[in-house]
């Protein structure tokens, strides 16, 4: 397990954050209604996301789960591009209604890391344009140099792998250090498992729906109640 620095951070050259539940929590239904629109208009499904696991999931993964629940799995792959395009359009059309609430002390943490010249990125199950729209609405977009999203990878493990590849390339160009540590931060067991699958350290932060004890059971490298514990 990596050591923790004097300011309680796992030492790394780059830190990659999940978005929903880690950086912010949405107080609006813009993203949810984009799902509803895609399900209704592309798959002719009127139901919502009831009984679907959304925390730690991805946008394509959530759509897949609903479509399979409704017995339309055979339609999923060829209709997915249209559904994702509609979701992007819906969020863009309603982006003025985005109302994110920052998780406790997250901006102070980002400022601290930026002051230490750390490379910062995001890895999220959101589609890219939706993720950036949320971060812009939250006033956090300028902290992040790159992102990895579900546009091209449905599984969280794959999204994290793409983030690692991007971070390593950027670090190599900046410092010729291709072996620098990259640390992830997330709020769900899925984040911990995705980091583990990619053999990188992970900080679990109980700022979403999971408690610290629930996250600790998955043995992250560091487990916190909130980002105040890092400052």
Cα separations (Å) of 78 from 27, 84, 138, 154, 158? 32, 11, 34, 15, 21
Q: Give the C-alpha separation, 195 to 18, whole Å.
A: 11
Same domain, 145 and 164: yes
Residue 68 counted as domain residue: yes
58/152 same-domain check = no
Say if residues 55 and 3 touch (Cβ distance below 8 Å).
Answer: no
18 and 123 share a domain? yes
Q: Would 87 be classed as within a structural domain?
A: yes
Structurally, the chain folds into a number of domains equal to: 2
Strand 146-148 and strand 182-186: the pairing is: unpaired
Residues 132 and 225 grouped into a single domain: yes
Same domain, 20 and 131: yes
User: Which of 132, 142, 144 lies closest to 31, judged by CA?
Assistant: 132
Residue with tokens 């939250």: 138
Same domain flag for 222 and 156: yes
Q: Does residue 124 sit in the same domain as residue 91? A: no
| Model pLDDT, residue 6 | 36
Do 37 and 22 belong together in one domain? no
Mean pLDDT of 196-209: 96
Q: What is the mean pLDDT of residues 195-210?
A: 97
Same domain, 216 and 170: yes
Exposed / middle / buried, residue 17 (Cβ in 10 Å: 0-12, 13-18, 19+): buried
Residue 84 lies in a domain: yes
The half-sphere exposure of 171 on its side-chain side, counting CA atoms within 13 A, is 21
Domain ranges, residue 91: 30-97
> Do the beta carbons of residue 226 and residue 105 sit within 8 Å?
yes
- At residue 13, does pLDDT exceed 70? yes
Based on the domain organization, do 49 and 106 belong to the same domain? Answer: no
CA angle 208/210/215 to nearest 5° reads 120
pTM given for the model: 0.94
Q: What's the pLDDT at 7?
A: 55
Largest CA distance in the chain: 54
pLDDT, tens digit, 9 for 90 and up, residues 105-152? 999 999 999 999 999 999 999 999 999 999 999 999 999 999 999 999
Q: Which of 46, 81, 97 is the last residue of a domain?
A: 97
CATH number for the domain that contains residue 138: 3.40.50.1000
């Amino acid at each position: 397990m990596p050591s923790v620095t004097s300011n309680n951070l796992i030492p790394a050259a780059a830190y990659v954050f999940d978005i929903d539940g880690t950086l912010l929590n949405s107080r609006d239904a813009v993203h949810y209604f984009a799902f509803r629109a895609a399900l209704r208009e592309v798959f002719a499904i009127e139901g919502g996301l009831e009984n679907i696991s959304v925390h730690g999931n991805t946008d394509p993964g959530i759509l897949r789960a609903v479509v399979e629940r409704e017995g339309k799995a055979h339609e999923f792959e060829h209709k997915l591009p249209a559904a994702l395009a509609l979701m992007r359009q819906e969020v863009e059309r309603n982006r003025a209604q985005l109302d994110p609430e920052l998780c406790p002390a997250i901006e102070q943490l980002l400022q601290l890391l930026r002051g230490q010249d750390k490379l910062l990125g995001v890895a999220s199950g959101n589609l890219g344009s939706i993720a950036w729209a949320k971060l812009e609405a939250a006033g956090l977009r300028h902290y992040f140099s790159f992102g990895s999203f579900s546009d091209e990878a449905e599984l969280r493990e794959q999204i994290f792998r793409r983030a690692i590849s991007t971070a390593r390339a950027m670090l190599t160009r900046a410092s010729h250090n291709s072996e620098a540590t990259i640390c992830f931060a997330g709020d769900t067991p899925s984040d911990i498992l995705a980091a583990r699958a990619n053999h990188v350290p992970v900080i679990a932060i109980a700022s979403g729906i999971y408690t610290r004890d629930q996250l600790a059971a998955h043995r992250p490298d560091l487990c916190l109640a909130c980002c105040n514990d890092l400052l």
